[in-house]
Structure formats: C-alpha cells, structure tokens
A and B are shown apart, each in its own frame.
Chain A
Amino acid sequence: MREIIKFEKINKSFEEVRILSNISLSIYQGETLVLLGKSGSGKTTLLKLINGLIAPDSGRITINSKSAEEQDLTQLRREIGYVIQKIGLLPHLTVAQNMKVPSQIIGKPKDDHFYSTLLKQVGIDSDLLQQYPSQLSGGQQQRVGIARALVNDPAIILMDEPFSALDPLLRDQLQNDFPKIEKLKSKTIVMVTHDTEEAVKLGDRIALLHEGKLVQVGSPADLLFNPEQPFVADFFRKDAFALKLKLTKAKALGIEDEANPSIFELLAGDTFSADEKVAAINAYYKYEKKNSTQ
C-alpha cells in the first residue's frame, strides 16, 4: 500500500496549551482513516495540518512524498477536497454556481452536465440546481458540500465532522449513502468525528486521539475488541453505541440474556474468537439494516 500522507513527530501548541504531542501516523492510498476523539483531543488540528490551514510547531508532514513545506499551499489545497461540519456553501450563489467555484478558481470550467451528474451521484436532483443554500435542508446542503469537494477530482478528501450537525435521521441516511458514492470509492479519505458509531461504520482504520496523543491506530474491530489501553475500552464502552452493540449482538449471537452486563466484556475478552467477533459485527449491521428498512 502506498503511503500518501505521513505525519512525523508533530507537535503543536496554541497559546501555551499543548494540542498535539509527538504524533506520527501514516495514511495509505484509498483508505478511509477516521480521526476519532472527544472535543479538544486535537483531531481537527491534525486534519488541518494536512491542507496547511494550520502549521505545526515542529515535526514533518509529507504528502505524496513531498514535504508540505516545499509545496505551494494554495496549489496543495486545490488538490485536496475539503468538507466541514458547517459546510460553508457561498450563501449568495445558487447550488449550480457553488458547484462551479472550485473549477472556476483553477481556471478549468466544466460543462453543466458534469455538475448535474456529480450532484445526482450524491443524491441531489437537478431541480435543486437553481436554489440557494438557505433553501436546502441541512442534509441536502452537506450532499452539495461533498459533491463540491469532488469537482476537481482530488485524490485526497478531508472531512471535518461532516455529519455531526445533522439531525439523527439525516445523519443515518448520509452515513449509509456515503460509502456508496461511486466517486469516493477510490479516494483517500481522512475523516474527523467524535461519533464512535460513525467511526466504526465508515472507517477502514480508526486513529483514536486523547489529549493530543495518539492512543491506538487500527481497524474498528481492533479498537473494539483488542484495546491496547484501558482508555480505548472505556471510550467505546461509555458510548451509547457500545450499549446498543452489546444488546443487539447478544441477540444476534443467540445470547438470550440481554440484560447481562458482562456480555460486552465477553465480546471484548477472549471468550469469542476474532472470527466470531467479526461475525457478531456483521450480524449487528444486518440487524440494523433490517430494522431501518422496516
């Protein structure tokens, strides 16, 4: 696997407060890496280091085997898609006009068909093209935001809490639709979230941050079932998702005693083999899907 983004010994402070300490992390081509952590953990800062919106105090960032310092920031950003929680569509422009901005700034405009096809892929009908952002729902706006990040076909997409501001129903919809977007499948995606469920659902790998330090990096199953530190286990256990997971999985595995509080520990411990655990997660998703289609 080709290394596309590489952090080496990154340190960053704001006004004497340490935000990131000694972060080293590699992100590989085509994967979706989720930066997971509570607010204040430094995950967003780490993301913004990639497109140079924030510069590190020390350490090295390499993108496409070139040091970030060697690159022209404006040029670098044009090659990276950027999706943020508050979306940031231009309020004075229509959806269609908003879509044209990224290609406009690099002087390579595309025909109208291109934009409407792209919007269709993210689930936006062409009858919304002439609407202004304020006339769209939050979910529609974020779909446009994602489509906008894809206009110049960047190899890397950065997403900062893309679904957090949406209400739960829309969030679930977008989270479910997101992996199906054709254009996104080949991209390297770095996504910031505080939502463990989202991280497990969407991430190929999760990097868990706590107080500016990288706690564990690995697949969702690794973090769920082989926590390297008590903090990791706690992090997932405390979450509502963990409880839901615990109960539904207990059902899926045929463990009838739903109320048994030790089930999660069983899942996390050695009682089940790794294969059984993966089976449990799959069973959970099927169960969830069935529930949502009903």
Chain B
Amino acid sequence: MSWFYYILDHLHEVQTQTFEHLYLTGISLILASIVGITVGVSIIKKEKLASLIISLVGVIQTIPSLALLGFLLPVFGIGAVPAIIALFLYALLPIVRNTYIGIKEIDPAIIEAALGMGMSRFQLLRIVQIPIAFPVILGGIRTSAVINVGVATLCALIAAGGLGEFIFRGISLNNPSMILAGAIPASVLAIFIDLFLGYIQKHINHVWKLIAPLIIVLSAVFLLYPKGEVSHMKSKLTAGFNSEFIERGDGYIGLNELYDLPISIKEMEIGLMYEALENGDVDVIDGFSTDGRIKAYNLKSLVDDKQYFPPYFAAPLVHRQALLDNPSLSDALQLLSNTVTDEDITQLNYLVDREQQSIKDVAAQYLKNKQLPFSLKAGHHSEPDVVIGSKAFTESFILAHLFAMVIEGNTGLRTELKLGFGGTKLLFDALRTKEIDLYPEYTGTGLLVLLQPQDTILDRLGSDPNAIFQYTKTEFQQLHNVTWLDPLGFNNTFALMMRREHADSLQIETISDLSTYLQTE
C-alpha cells in the first residue's frame, strides 16, 4: 500500500496532473467531436471520398504516438498545443467512422419517409440522421475518449503535463509507487469518462441535450484547471529536463541544492529535448557529455565547476549465468575495454545523429579502424546464445552493436539485439530476469539509480572513478548476480547545455554562471 501513501503525500501534484490530463483529453475530444462529426456527415453522399477519408484518418491511427509527437514538435514546439493536436488526430478515426456508419445504417425507409414529407437536407440531418445515429456516434466518442486518456500519458514527454509525468519518472527511477500514482488516477479517469459517456448514451436520447452537460463539464475543467507551469514558478530561462533527470538523486534535485538554480522546468523526452533547445522552446537542457548533437546543434556544455556530476563510465553489464554458459563471452568483450575515448564516442554519436549514417556502418568502421575482428551481420539470430539490450538513445544503440559485432567476430556465439528499452528500470529488470544477457550501462547510473546507497557510503566513495567502479561491481555481484566487465574507457557524464550563441551572449560558461544569471533581477 506504499503507493497509497505516496499519492496522499503528493496529493496536490496528483490533482494538478489529473486536471492537466483531463484538460488535454477533454479539449482534444471536443475538437475531434466537432470536426469528426462534421466530416462524417459531409461524406455521407460521397462514397468514394468517404472511403478515402476514412482510410486517411485510419493511417493517422497507425502512426506510433511518440512518432506523431515527434512530427509535430518542429512545427508546434512543445507543451499543450502539439499534445492536443496529436490527441485530436488520434480521436478522429472512431468519431468520423462511427458518424458515417451510424448515418449510413439508418433504415432507408425512414429517410424516404422523411424526405417524402418535405424535410430539407438540414432538417433531415437535425431531426432524423444525427438523432438516430447518435448512440453510434457517441460510441465512437467513447472509444476515442478511452484511447485519449491512454495516449495523453505520453504527452508528458513533450512537457504537456498530465499523469504521464509520474509514470515516466517512476519507470526511469525504479519507483513502483510513483508509477502507480500516475497509472491509478489515469485508469480511474478512463473508467469515469467511459461511464459518464455511457450514461449519456443510455439516458440522453436527444443529441441537443448533450450540449448542456458538456458545457458544464467544460467550464468545470476550465475553472479548476491550475494555471502555470509544472514547477509553478516563472524564471528568466526555461529548462527542458527528462523525467529521469528531474527525479534522480544525481539529477536536478541535488544539482539545485548545490548550485541553487531557480529555473522553470518543462518535462520532456530525451529524444525531443535537443530539438526543443534548437527551436528556442527551452533554454537549458540536460544531456550527456559525449552526445553527438552537442557538436551537431552547436551547443555549449556548461562546465560543472563544483564537480557535482559523478563519473559515468560505460561498461558491459552481464548476467553471470551468461558468462558461465558462454566462457568465451567475457574475453571477447574485454577486447573493447579501455579502447573507446571520449573523442571516439562523441564522433560516433555525431556520425549517427547528424550525418545520418547507419549505426551498423558506424560501428563496423570503428572496429575496422581499431583492427578488431568483427562480424558485420551480427545481432540478428533467431536462436541466439546471447541477447544484447540497449537504452533508447544513440550511444546505447552504438555500444550494443559494438558488443554484438565483437562477440560474433571473435567467438562462435550467436547474438540477438533487443534495442531501445524505455528507462533504466525496465532494462535492468530484463537483465536480472535474464530476458537479455547483457547491455551497456554507466557506472554512475548503476550506483545512484540501481543501488541507491546511503549518503555515508557515497561520501566515502567521493568522486574516485575506480572506487566507485569497484564498489558497484561488488554490490551488483552480491545483490543481483550480475557482473560489471571492465569499462570501455570514456566517461559520459551528465551535462547542462545551452545554445552556444545564447550562452555566449549571457556570458555563461559554468553552471555557477547560470546560477548567478538566474538570481540577478
């Protein structure tokens, strides 16, 4: 029941996010109802156009939600607007289709009688077609509503707020209570909306009677909708942080304690942050020091002058059973240890992110340059000896490919790549249960996110990379039966980034400079 107390503790936040969620869902649903019914009605007489339009809105439905948000981002930026547009587009299909079908399926005799008594087209629509098709149309709206409550959780990734904030933070932080604090209200909301519309469907047999309750609900949402940003504070600059960074012990919370950074925060997905910074939607983002996009977008990585961020050395994290089952695995992976420099990995990231080269080619070229034996076709066996996972960003993809190519190039083992896990917790759970055998992890993440040791231990370890690695390795071995192999060499720590010209114009070089700038009136 810890989630229950968690919700009680965070009641205000849960309320805010629930209203944000209702707001996103409600506005998009009303827009989609207006447009969807209008479109559905206007294609009744045109069968060819109707099938074209219905397939067209059907295609929208097949676009993955996150991809759709990604498409909208360059045009509409971040926040509620692109979120509402995406939800609106998703809600269209059931409403258009049900309106069309609902009216099409009316007994032709009824239409004939109505036309025969001299109804105009509009009277036919108002008195006959829409009221009779109303339960079917409302069924479409109901379907859309439930879909939208679900999809709206994803809108947290583009800083639109909503219950997704808890869910994504919870997933990345390995905190089930936090996930439930988002998931439970979201389910309740979905059930509530479904029941509400179901009630209307049963008891309100006339479409015009729907308008009154809708207006009441709408005004209630508007009146109760909390104004302001997520952080409830206005500052000179806006930060775009991903959910993991906001809540992680080694993320914004500690950073703010050390540097004092009064900045308003928009929560967004890692993959979308750079775009948002480039477009000027936000001014500061968190990122990784080896990210290829720093160079690609001409960003400035602020100097961590108080050495807040711990070291993040990348290393293969392997299930011990996999090492025992495949004795050659360890030696193959050791070929990569201490061979990848910061410059190397930054360049690899750059080639993929900016030059749009394929990850496979970039990894192969790198191994060729290093004169390491490798297999170009690695990672696609259907009955693999070793399954390799990765997180959902470029560097993790590249490392996973390097692992696969080196393993297959130097041993007889067959590998399979399972890439793009959304969050450390999911990936690590997959490793622990041996659904995957290994993945590239960072020492800092292992220590602070997965182990979460007491402050006294952290103080004792300090910022000595070696001590941290040894401590982490031992603990993982004992607690999780998982082995850290030797690090690859580079240190990909967290960094705060700004657009270069922007930072230069404000004379911000270090995080302390940023703090000073934020605090001056």
Contacts and interface: CB of A to CB of B under 8 A. Distances in A.
Interface of A: 51, 53, 74-82, 84-92, 101-102, 104-106, 145, 148-149, 158
Interface in B163-206: 205-206
Contacts of A85: 109
The 6 closest A-B pairs by CB, nearest first: A88-B113, A82-B116, A78-B118, A86-B109, A77-B118, A88-B109
A129 to B, nearest CB: 17
A84 to B, nearest CB: 6
Interface string B126-156: 0110011010000000000000000000000
B110 A90 contact: yes
B119 interface: yes
Interface residue SS majority, chain A? mixed
B233 interface: no
B129 to A, nearest CB: 11
Contacts of A80: 116, 118
Contacts of A158: 116
Contacts of A91: 110, 132
B128 A74 contact: no
Given A53-B112, A84-B113, A88-B107, 11 more contacts: A51-B116, A74-B119, A74-B120, A75-B118, A79-B118, A88-B110, A90-B131, A102-B117, A145-B113, A149-B117, A158-B116
A74 B112 CA distance: 13
Nearest to B124: A105
Interface string B94-126: 000000000000010111111111111001000
Given A90-B128, A92-B131, A84 B115 contact: no
Contacts of B134: 92
A104 B117 CA distance: 11
A105 B132 contact: no
Given A74-B118, A75-B118, A92-B131, A105 B123 contact: yes
Nearest to B135: A92
Contact of A106 (B107, B114, B115, B118): B118
Interface string B440-459: 00000000000000000000
Contacts of A53: 112, 115-116
A76 B118 CA distance: 7
Contacts of A89: 110, 113
A79 B118 CA distance: 8
B109 A84 contact: yes
Contacts of A106: 118
Residue among B116, B120, B132, B206 with max Cβ neighbours from chain A (10 Å)? B116
A113 to B, nearest CB: 22
Given A77-B118, A78-B118, A105 B113 contact: no
Nearest to A81: B117
Contacts of B128: 90
8 contacts: A53-B112, A77-B118, A80-B118, A82-B113, A84-B109, A88-B109, A88-B116, A101-B127
B117 A82 contact: yes
Contacts of B123: 105
A51 B112 CA distance: 11
B132 A77 contact: no
Contact of B115 (A75, A77, A101): A77
B513 to A, nearest CB: 69
Given A105-B119, A106-B118, A84 B127 contact: no
B132 A90 contact: yes
A288 B131 CA distance: 46
B112 A84 contact: yes
B112 A105 contact: no
A178 B118 CA distance: 24
With a 10 A CB-CB cut-off, give which of A85, A91, A145 has the most chain B CB atoms.
A91
Nearest to A132: B205
Contact of A105 (B109, B111, B118, B206): B118
